[in-house]
Amino acid sequence: MSLVKRSTHGCPGGLPVLLLTACAVAASLAGVPAAAAEPSTLHDLAAAHGKYFGSATDNPELPDTAYAATLGSEFGQITPGNSMKWDTTEPQQGQFSFTKGDVISDFARDHGQTVRGHTLVWHSQLPGWVAALPASQVEAAMTNHITEVAGHYRGEVAAWDVVNEPFNDDGTFRASPFYNAMGSDYIATALRAAHAADPDAKLYINDYNTEGLGAKSDAMYDLVSELVAEGVPIDGVGFQGHLAVQYGFPGGMQQNLKRFADLGLDVAVTELDVRMQLPADAAKLATQATYYRNVVEACLAVARCVGITVWDYTDKYSWVPDAFPGQGAANLYDENLRPKASYDAVRTALGGDDEGGGGGEPGALKARYRNSDPAPADNQIKPALQLVNTGAAAVDLSTVKVRYWFTGDNGVSSYGTWCDWSPLGCSTITHRVAAMSSPKAGADHYLEVGFGSGSLAAGSSTGEIQLRLSKTDWSNFDETDDYSRTTGTSYADAPKVAVYIGGELAWGIEP
Which residue, judged by CB position, is nearest to ligand XIL in the bound state? Answer: 319
Indicate whether 430 belongs to the interface with ligand XIL (CB under 6 A). Answer: no
Which of 59, 70, 73, 82 lies at the binding interface for ligand XIL (CB under 6 A)?
A: 82
- 294-324: string of b/e by CB count within 10 Å (b at 16+)? bbbbbbbbbebbbbbbbbbbbbbbbbbeeeb
Contact 101, 80 (CB under 8 A): yes
Which of 105, 240, 290, 462 lies at the binding interface for ligand XIL (CB under 6 A)?
A: 240
Cβ 345 to ligand XIL shortest distance, Å: 22
Distances (CA, A) of 173 to 178, 182, 185, 231, 425: 11, 12, 11, 21, 57
Which of 160, 186, 221, 319 lies at the binding interface for ligand XIL (CB under 6 A)?
A: 319
The one-character DSSP state at 51 is -
- Coil, strand or helix at 333: strand
**Which of residues 268 and 443 has its CB atom nearest to ligand XIL in the complex?**
268
**Which of residues 54 and 81 has its CB atom nearest to ligand XIL in the complex?**
81
Cβ 118 to ligand XIL shortest distance, Å: 6
Residue 23 half-sphere exposure toward CB, CA atoms < 13 A: 25
Active site residue 355: no
| Interface with ligand XIL in residues 455-484 (CB under 6 A) | none
Catalytic residue among 90, 271, 464, 510: 271
Which of 271, 315, 361, 510 lies at the binding interface for ligand XIL (CB under 6 A)?
A: 271
**In this structure, are strands 504-507 and 415-421 parallel, antiparallel, or unpaired?**
unpaired
**Which of residues 156 and 271 has its CB atom nearest to ligand XIL in the complex?**
271
Cβ 422 to ligand XIL shortest distance, Å: 47
Catalytic residue among 74, 139, 156, 165: 165
Residue 120 phi, psi (nearest 5): -85, -45
**Which of residues 83 and 290 has its CB atom nearest to ligand XIL in the complex?**
83
Question: What is the rounded CA–CA span in Å between residue 230 and residue 185?
Answer: 12
Indicate whether 81 belongs to the interface with ligand XIL (CB under 6 A). Answer: yes
Cβ 68 to ligand XIL shortest distance, Å: 18
* Chain centre to alpha carbon of residue 68: 24
Indicate whether 314 belongs to the interface with ligand XIL (CB under 6 A). Answer: no
Active site residue 165: yes
Cβ 138 to ligand XIL shortest distance, Å: 21
| DSSP letters for 74-85 | H-SEEEESSTTS
**In this structure, are strands 365-371 and 114-121 parallel, antiparallel, or unpaired?**
unpaired
Cβ 125 to ligand XIL shortest distance, Å: 6
**Which of residues 82 and 380 has its CB atom nearest to ligand XIL in the complex?**
82
Indicate whether 164 belongs to the interface with ligand XIL (CB under 6 A). Answer: yes
Distances (CA, A) of 510 to 5, 289, 329, 364, 388: 36, 16, 24, 17, 19
Contact 360, 387 (CB under 8 A): no
**Binding-site ranges for ligand XIL (CB under 6 A):** 81-82, 164, 240, 271, 319
Q: Which residues are catalytic?
A: 165, 271
